[in-house]
Structure 1
Amino acid sequence: MVTGTAAGALLVSTGTASAHVTVNPGEAGQGEYAKLTFRVPNESGTASTVRIRVNFPAATPLPSVRVKPHPGWTAKVTESRLPRPVDVGDVRLDRAVTSVTWTAAEGSTIGPGEFDEFDVSVGPLPAKSSMSFPVVQTYDDKTVARWDQAQAAGAAEPEHPAPTLTLVAGSGGHHGTEAAAYAALAVRRLGRGGAR
């Protein structure tokens, strides 16, 4: 569990009607590690965002998920047993991180007209064309926004698209060896039930 200590929502200019939750950068290399930033705007005119849950796909589990401490928010990392073991490079996973939930302390919520950003380090990324991370955004008036709609090729963007990371061929080199070492360490820690 990671606990923040200070408040810190970021102010953005008006005009959030077309804003949605995104993952940045939008592209990363297969087999590599990446820092992913989930940008969360507040689209409510009156309520504040108090909780963000980012879901990680069990079909393409990540051996390592590390959360950057976020001032004013507490992060809970949830690991789950996979329906069946999955081979990731030279390692086999039977458990993986399936979600990270950030909860705001009093005074640290994302107010109307504001946005905030939440960082995780993940990897190694799978040999797929993309990964989606459905997000559940909860407001203090109990309303919930679900950013979980898939983007169909050639179709208009849905109203609540899931943040999607495009995956391209990795650069390889020494980074691949480093990734394999980190993956093996992560698997050993998962086997002991330890944190990443």
Structure 2
Amino acid sequence: MQISHDHLPLRRLGLAAAGSVVLLGIAAGPAAAHAEVSASDPRALAENVTLSFTSEAESDAAGIAELRVVLPQGIAPDAVTLKEAPEGWKLTATPDGYSVGGAALATGTDAEYSITVRQLPDAESLAFKTLETYGDGKVSRWIEVPADGRKVDNPAPLLKLQPAAPGAKPIAPSPSPTPTPTPSAPTAEPSSPAPAAAPDARKANAADSGSGNGVVVAVVAAVVVLGGAGAFRWTRRSRQS
């Protein structure tokens, strides 16, 4: 059977297109897995916003067991609470963000969870750098932030914000507990002269002093009386003799 030469260009175009699809599929394969974030109210300074995260599974050997997130500037770890997560997963605050995890998910299962943020900062976009840890210890790092419109291999979940609503203002941070002052060691007081005796004490001392003087006078009087009596008796005897 003879093939018309008019059909050859069409066949060649078909083969080239098919090859292009295959090449695109191969190129897109390794980059298919990624982490994403969306918001219930993606506006700057929005309050009580729900952020939903999805981390696609990319391991054929184990499931995702933990997600470690670094919060962008303007969101403190204590301003985040867990709203929804896989059964048994818990959120733990870290110095620069939080971790959420628990028992490893089934292999090939995407990790989906949501948090509530007290208030979004006044910014144009927010990057949530994420580390995915699998049950076998493998770690995927989605921590790169695109700059100048350039593409990156492992982009961090990026949330683009709309301008703040009219009149929106930053919420004052939660007041931190006032530390209880620690009592200091007592300082030795300088020595000082003894305080003057109270009026009652002075009266008591005067009374005691008066009592003592009265005793002395009584003794002296007794001695004088006895001495006088002795002298009288001696004089009387002398006259009789």
RMSD: 2.7
- 1:18 CA displacement: 0.9
Gaps of 5+ in 1: 1-14, 81-97
Which of 79, 85, 88 does residue 64 from structure 1 map onto?
Answer: 79
- What's the counterpart of residue 148 of structure 1? 143
- The question of whether the paired residues in 1 share the 8 Å contact of 2:57 and 2:63 is answered with yes
Counterparts of 1:35-184 in structure 2 under 5 Å? 35-57=50-72, 59-62=73-76, 64-78=79-93, 80=95, 98-105=96-103, 109-112=105-108, 114-156=109-151, 158-172=152-166, 176=168, 183-184=171-172
Structure having the higher strand fraction is 1
2:201 pairs with 1:187: no
User: Which whole-Å deviations, capped at 9, do the CAs of 1:67-86 have from their partners, x for residues lacking one?
Assistant: 11424233233253xxxxxx
C-alpha separation in 2, matches of 1:61 and 1:137: 21
Aligned-pair identity in percent equals: 26
**Bigger radius of gyration, 1 or 2?**
2
TM-score, normalised to structure 2's length? 0.54
Match of 1:73, SS state, is: coil
Judge conservation of contact 2:132–2:141 (CA < 8 Å) in 1: yes
Over 3 Å off, 4+ runs: none
Cα distance in 2, alignment partners of residues 30 and 76 from structure 1: 24
TM-score (norm 1): 0.65
Higher relative contact order (CA 8 A, sep 6+): 1
Structure 2: 5+ residue stretches without partners: 1-28, 179-241
